[in-house]
């Protein structure tokens, strides 16, 4: 029998607004978990690019992550640590490696709970339900944006590049946010200046050029794949 949907904020409404990211490389297990959780009204996205789990996380902005430990390229501990640099979204490890050492490692790396394979589907859905209720009764998830592998954190105005956190000035953050919002499109100098400074105050056009030059040097120094292209007579563009 299909369970009735519940509102995670009140305990009596609809779960459909909650999105789960499932990081499981066994397609059979992933399919079974996805089907079961969808019966409970959750939206479930299965990771496919195991070399860029962080990019998938940023793109789908889930409310909760279900993470296997043994994965191609990098293990679940690595991706948990990467996610923890940009988000407090709850992470539940789901693995057959359920010995004490792995459970302790999962918690130390930032995991919130651990489910040992094999497990009853009802146990998994109960863990997910409880974690979502506890998490979103007290805090909101981190707002993030992703472009070319770099992740912009809108909460603390920082940029995650190659696993390293890059602090941004107020203007650098505003410029990147606008360029990320319009990735692949040209943003006029006027639009950027409007975002940076009040309309009523006069700002020398060269001031924007100086800010852009400093930002480019900072991105290049951090090894970010974020070339800011100048479109002559038009403005600036980031991404393809």
Q: Are residues 158 and 124 part of one domain?
A: no
Name which of 33-42, 140-149, 184-193 the model is least confident about.
Answer: 140-149
Which residue segment(s) compose the domain that 218 sits in? 144-238
How high is the mean pLDDT of the chain? 85
DSSP string, 176-190: HHHHHHTTTS-EEHH
Residue 240's pLDDT is 60
Mean pLDDT of 127-131: 92
pLDDT tens-digit profile of 177-190? 999 989 889 999 88
Q: Are residues 156 and 174 part of one domain?
A: yes
Q: Are residues 148 and 132 part of one domain?
A: no
Residue 98's pLDDT is 67
Residue 201's pLDDT is 52
Mean pLDDT of 49-63: 92
Residue 138's pLDDT is 52
Last residue of a domain, which of 136, 159, 174?
136
Q: Are residues 190 and 160 part of one domain?
A: yes
Residue 94's pLDDT is 93
- Is the pLDDT confidence value at 199 over 60? no
Q: Are residues 214 and 190 part of one domain?
A: yes
Using 50, 70 and 90 to split pLDDT, how confident is the model at 119? confident
Q: Are residues 47 and 110 part of one domain?
A: yes
Contact call for residues 44 and 34 (beta carbons, < 8 A): yes
- Is the pLDDT confidence value at 12 over 80? no
CATH of the domain at 153: 1.10.10.10
- Is the pLDDT confidence value at 142 over 70? no
Residues β-bridged to residue 20 = 44, 64
As for how many domains the chain has, the answer is: 2
In angstroms, rounded to a whole number, what is the distance separating the alpha carbons of residues 12 and 40? Answer: 13
Q: Are residues 221 and 130 part of one domain?
A: no
Could you tell me if residue 3 is inside a domain?
no
Using 50, 70 and 90 to split pLDDT, how confident is the model at 203? low
Mean pLDDT of 125-133: 91
| Residue 112 DSSP one-character state | -
Could you tell me if residue 9 is inside a domain?
no
Q: Are residues 104 and 190 part of one domain?
A: no
Residue 1's pLDDT is 36
Q: Are residues 118 and 30 part of one domain?
A: yes
Could you tell me if residue 182 is inside a domain?
yes
In this prediction the pTM is 0.67
Q: Are residues 86 and 23 part of one domain?
A: yes
Last residue of a domain, which of 111, 136, 161?
136
Q: Are residues 193 and 170 part of one domain?
A: yes
Could you tell me if residue 12 is inside a domain?
no
Helices within the chain (DSSP H only) = 27-39, 53-60, 76-84, 100-108, 121-136, 170-181, 189-196, 205-221
Could you tell me if residue 210 is inside a domain?
yes
| Residue 3 DSSP one-character state | P
CA distances from 11 to 65, 94, 129, 132, 160 (A): 21, 25, 10, 11, 35
Could you tell me if residue 148 is inside a domain?
yes
Q: Are residues 121 and 183 part of one domain?
A: no
Last residue of a domain, which of 103, 136, 169?
136
pLDDT tens-digit profile of 69-82? 999 999 999 999 99
């Amino acid at each position: 029998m299909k369970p009735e949907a519940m509102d995670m904020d009140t305990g009596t409404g609809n779960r459909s607004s909650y999105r789960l990211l499932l990081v499981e490389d066994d397609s059979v297990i992933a399919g079974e978990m996805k089907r079961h959780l969808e019966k409970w009204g959750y939206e479930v996205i299965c990771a496919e690019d195991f070399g860029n789990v962080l990019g998938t996380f940023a793109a789908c902005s889930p409310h909760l992550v279900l993470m296997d430990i043994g994965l191609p390229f990098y293990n679940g501990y690595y991706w948990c640590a990467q996610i923890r640099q940009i988000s407090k979204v709850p992470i539940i490890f789901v693995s057959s490696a359920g010995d004490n050492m792995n459970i302790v490692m999962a918690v130390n790396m930032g995991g919130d709970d651990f489910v040992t394979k094999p497990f009853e589907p009802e146990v998994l859905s109960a863990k997910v339900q409880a974690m979502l209720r506890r998490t979103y009764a007290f805090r909101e998830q981190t707002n993030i944006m992703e472009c070319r592998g770099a992740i912009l954190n809108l909460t603390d105005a920082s940029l995650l590049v190659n696993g390293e956190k890059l602090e941004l000035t107020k203007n650098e953050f505003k410029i990147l946010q606008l360029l990320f919002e319009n990735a692949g499109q040209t943003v006029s100098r006027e639009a950027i200046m409007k975002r940076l400074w009040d309309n009523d105050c006069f700002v020398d056009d060269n001031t924007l050029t100086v800010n852009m030059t400093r930002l480019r040097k900072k991105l290049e120094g951090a090894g970010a794949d974020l070339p800011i292209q100048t479109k002559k007579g038009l403005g600036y563009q980031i991404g393809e």
